[in-house]
Amino acid sequence: MAVYTEVSDEDLALFLKRYDLGELLSFKGIAEGVENTNYLLHTTAGNFILTLYEKRVATTDLPFFLGLMEHLNSNGVSCPLPVRDLKGNHTGELCGRTAAIITFLEGICVKHPAPSHCLELGRALARLHLAANGFALTRENALGPKGWRPLFNHFAGESESISTGLKEDITAELDWLEKDWPRGLPQGVIHADLFPDNVFFIGGKLSGVIDFYFACNDCLAYDLAICLNAWCFEDDCSFNITKGRALMSGYNEVRPLSEAECAALPILARGAALRFLLTRCYDWLNTPEDAIVKPHDPKAYLRRLRFHQRTATTAEYGFNPA
């Protein structure tokens, strides 16, 4: 979350007339994040998040994202709920941007997750996957395997400025993953971006999940692989096997992994590491120096990728399904 579009008091007051949210008491920008403009609204009806969707989010995808949040919320997942206006619409226009209001979720993000947080996350991720069953809309994963090489082609010529040999490393990994990417695994709706800053805790218990703007349809175990990358590596990029065991055990407790999913997990983890390596490289090379939000160093995901390249079984992540 961040602030790219400034909203005046007058524009906001006019926009809020479309809603039954009581009297506006305060609003302020939220600095964190990279995708959209966000404000915290406080009204006599409660606290809400106002989001203005910037260029990286296609407005044609909003019915999927917002409808998914409604579906998950109605099926027991603690996540923000889109607020419909007086005409029943999810979105409107504000300052030349498509905008929406969602409910505020209580909790804090953990910057350094413990195994107990990973266990909670694994359970919550499995519940999310089960709760998404029956959601009528679908969305292709634009950042899945088919999108990796086209994305790389945008910056391949500049990649050596990030790390010597990176162009060759990524090219070889793309060749390997495109040939050996698992097929036939259980499919469904995945979050696809469940980093620690998108998960809230209260008193050590997971209180909710936010930011569904990368959600899509893909193999469910790929979502678990994304979480292995995001939650189970330390600041020095070493893998914490205790966290890996907790994450996978928590998931398996709620939605048991199939033999095929377990066998494929090291490959899925390689793919997840490559996906975030590619997007972070692109942002690193294309974000202006004076940008409000600074890009993440992509080399952290290069080191994760090299770890997964040496991994063959789930036991090396701390999980033995037997």
**SS3 assignment for 290-316:** CCCCCCCCCHHHHHHHHHHHCCCCHHH
Cβ neighbours for 72, distance < 8 A, ≥ 6 positions apart? 79, 128, 131, 132
| Cβ–Cβ under 8 Å, residues 200 and 110 | no
* Tens of pLDDT, residues 253-297: 999 999 999 999 999 999 999 999 999 999 999 877 665 667 889
| Cβ–Cβ under 8 Å, residues 222 and 187 | no
CATH T-level assignment (fold) for domain 115-317: Aminoglycoside 3'-phosphotransferase; Chain: A, domain 2 (3.90.1200)
Q: What pLDDT, on the 0 to 100 scale, is given for residue 292?
A: 62
Q: Which helix (H) or strand (E) holds 209?
A: strand 205-209
* Alpha-carbon span 186 to 119, nearest angstrom: 22
Q: What pLDDT, on the 0 to 100 scale, is given for residue 290?
A: 61
DSSP for 26-42, please give it: EEEE----SSSEEEEEE
User: Model confidence at 85, in pLDDT bands (50, 70, 90)?
Assistant: very high
User: Model confidence at 32, in pLDDT bands (50, 70, 90)?
Assistant: low
In the predicted model, what is the mean pLDDT of residues 202-212?
95
Give the pair of three-digit tokens for residue 82.
Answer: 């889109």
Chosen CATH of 9-103 out of 3.40.5.10, 3.30.200.20, 1.20.210.10, 3.40.50.300: 3.30.200.20
* Radius of gyration in angstroms for the set of CA atoms belonging to the chain, rounded to a whole number: 20
* Alpha-carbon span 174 to 146, nearest angstrom: 10
Mean pLDDT over each residue of the chain, to the nearest integer: 94
CA-closest candidate to residue 279, choices 304, 309, 301: 301
CA distances from 174 to 145, 147, 318 (A): 9, 11, 27
Q: What pLDDT, on the 0 to 100 scale, is given for residue 34?
A: 57
| Cβ–Cβ under 8 Å, residues 131 and 72 | yes
What's the one-letter identity of residue 131? A
Q: What pLDDT, on the 0 to 100 scale, is given for residue 3?
A: 61
pLDDT surpasses 80 at 80: yes
Domain ranges within the chain, ordered by starting residue = 9-103, 115-317
Q: What pLDDT, on the 0 to 100 scale, is given for residue 6?
A: 86
What's the one-letter identity of residue 282? Y
Q: What pLDDT, on the 0 to 100 scale, is given for residue 55?
A: 73
| Cβ–Cβ under 8 Å, residues 274 and 302 | no
Q: What pLDDT, on the 0 to 100 scale, is given for residue 2?
A: 56
